[in-house]
Chains A and B, each alone.
Chain A
């Protein structure tokens, strides 16, 4: 039951509402006019189907305005707006119908003009349904918002794809209808909603273009060209979207600044990624890939991709370079190229340090690294291109310097430098290569070995070659220091002394022997041989030695008969053969002057002791020359008269090039034998010892430089050979 108070309240409300609608008109005429105005207005606002020509109505704007005026005065405008917006939602199926139809067509034809028509159609809808401006911006805004919200909620994913294609289609070439299109986007609110998609269109275009134009083109920097391409192609495209409403270029530039730098960044990043993926080949092509490196340097300053560059290069190196299939020389030259390239990209050397580390580690494990480097240092004839740039000034090897903080040009270490990064003073390539190893002694040793080989290979007093070696050594002295190469100096001096001594000996008593007299202590250990030259050779040697000892009474000549060459003239019954052969061959053929048929064993006995393989090789030389013939297995006959060359029964065994000079590696094995003597000595006298004790005791052995791990390996090897037994960490001799 309504109380009196409630009743009076309702009455008051009703009265107030009536008064508002009736606007103090007489009777209910005000009410009637309002309802007329309401009808006109709502009908005007009602969203109609624009494809239905019947509905296209003639509008009497004046009466509509008047109607709105009345509604407004009755303060019913918000209610009307609400009704209007509800109507829009209800009528939206009309638009959905259009969208579905257009998209279906687009899906079929993939023609972006369909999309364009769809967009224009949507604008048409929008315009048709829009309320008149006189209603004020509030209503207009509310309408736009509702329209767009509805639109976005009904747009299917297919629309987004089509939209993207549409944007992309306008990019190249910039299409004529573009301004209208952008305007339409703007009206529909698509620009804001799909900004990401529009930008991605730009990004993708940039990526495609960069890949198209720059991939594999390393000779000239691309960045400049790309920038101007951006200005010519991308910026005009961006203008309507990002610089809408710009009145002049100044204005536009300001508006584009932000988005432009984003695009520029993306271009840099794309180029950087591209170059990063190509970096290994770029380094191979160096110095023809200078341009690419310049680009990379510039990109890296803008884009933080240093870590990925390092990673990518390390990965490529591991896959393509640091494996057993690669030649050491190749690895070295790639390493040198890497040094040069990364210096361009990153002068402080942090990248290089990170990339170089695995290469250096790998090279250190290769047995022939030192040899390759040294061979390159002395400019071995067969090494085509030198690692060392000829223009690089020859300078002493550089030592690691402690940082000088008083240096006014001192810079702190780069931010991404690792903890073990060492400040990289740009040093020359040779210093860097030599620094792969902790000590340059190894190089000096290998250098001696190499020099010995080359000097001994010189025949016929070819003094020019000796002079060439001398020049080499002089150059290397600058690098390694005078003291380190003293031994080499002595070796060279031996060469010239040999010539002098030989001259003197020859003047006393002419001989056809021209020995190279070397000082045993200064030459690398030469492979010894037990060959005794038979017959006339021995006589020649003895004669010469006698003459030598009269000239140098305090010196004794010890022959290394297996080194050298012998020029022979063989006089056989029907022919004369002249040839240069190694001494062993000469020794064998000398034996044949005693009798015509020899067995292998007799021959070997005839020249002292010689390896069977070497002997066979020497004999095959003669068989090939048609001087000897192997009648039966291991029996050789001298062919005084040429026989029809029977096809060679035996082919030469894979030629074993016997290194005449013990390589550094072999010397190391000798060293280990020395250490073994010491270990044996201490274990004999001190009983069983733990490993670390052995390690410290080995300091008595001169030049001992093995780590305790190496020693452990060595002891383990000795155990396998049954020389020692190890129990509870104690080692003792096995006896």
Chain B
């Protein structure tokens, strides 16, 4: 039976550690524009439009101009009407494309939601078969090899391997067992071996998969706090521009040049922040989508946004900062033994030891001392002595040799029990290793101590750099460990975290989170155990591992299907990228207005005040072509920016100052310049239309 334990998948973990320096780009396929078109058309319904104040104004304007285009048709009015509708349509398209990507994921999830029959345990101990949809919270169901788990719950009896690929995409099976932190099973997953009894924890229709589907489809998408604040600002700008345009008519009238409704609507649509208004919801959906692509499910957009604000990161030492298990890093012979003697003894004692620590001892002996990795035929004849809680030692009896390794106190008892003595040298080494944050294992052969093996926490490669990056972003990292303060300090120093919490009990973690929050900081953490649940709930961003308990998954606001604790760092980056994309496109949208004034105002008023013609620095063909070109540019820029909205603005960890400088330059200054070029180019084509 091969079992892949997610906790010991260093290759996967390292991969993430390397790829998260920047948030990667999602792939955008132009064909999505076409396939999303029907959805975009459906979104023309007023009930949908009213939710977005900026685009609602465009929508009303389109109807208005269309009425005029029908009443008094002219090439110009019809063209403006058509392009105003395109503006609305492109905004819908952006949203539809963003939603479409989630829908595909939801579809594949739905396939796991087959109607399963459940074997429910009756109170008298008998079994009855009921449909999965008829289960209630608290029901006990039996699932055996080959059967599908009928609903979310915790294993209360037994141990089994489960194929969770339907949810996580990870084909290697995982172990689920009663008690402990790996008790949660998800409905729709398949039991591969053995038999478990599951206590159902969610009602049908509210299961994990149901929530996932709702999330990726964006069905229950609620606006996040920052999105609401931005919408208010955009609505304010829209009101100001609406009034500026409405008040313009009496002024134009006074000046002797009344303007047509078509021209005023065109001016209004060009001025209000349509670019960001059109892309705002697509940006939000795409942000959640980027998380899903990384196998992280957020229960709300609020949590994603909060991730960008996090200023304190609580990271579990084991599995996050260090490899999940301690490794043998050194062997220290004592007495007359040489290092080679000790290596031979240490290897023999660990050959039958299946624990990661044991394997790491063999690996060290193989790598450094050139000993064979596999047991020889002679060695296989030996009788292995497994580790027990009573002896706290393991080893081998091979011929006349009796070799044991274990904790210093256990081996001491064993040696003195045989009439031997433990030299002071050993105590000194043991104390030194402990003080340095390692775990000493003493190896003895018979009554003679051969030496000490040092097991240490090995910090994952690249962690120091990641923490430095986080520091530059203003995020403080705190390592949480059950180790004593001395050990914790040594590892914290090696890993480069800012602070550590040693001998941490769940309530200490909770207290730490509260303390940080008192000081106005937002805290993110990962957790898997039931005793992590309160802390996960208290943290502003709580990422539960999918391998964890149901309680943990309920308490957190995100679930990482890969159960990779380092992904928290990536989640932070995605949260930041989401906000940056919104801010950058808002700036771009507003900066665009300047050029539009230069195009439209001379076109409107050069006949009454010829001197205003000096403002036409783009030298556009005619007043009609100038206005239409501005409208066309305004519509096309939405389509042009859909890929950026879906992918998100490029984010690299950097100081706030340099981020702002860069984004102001690209989206502020770029936003001022681009429309001058764009409108000028479009005018070259538009002037070919008859009647312009």
- Bind each other: no
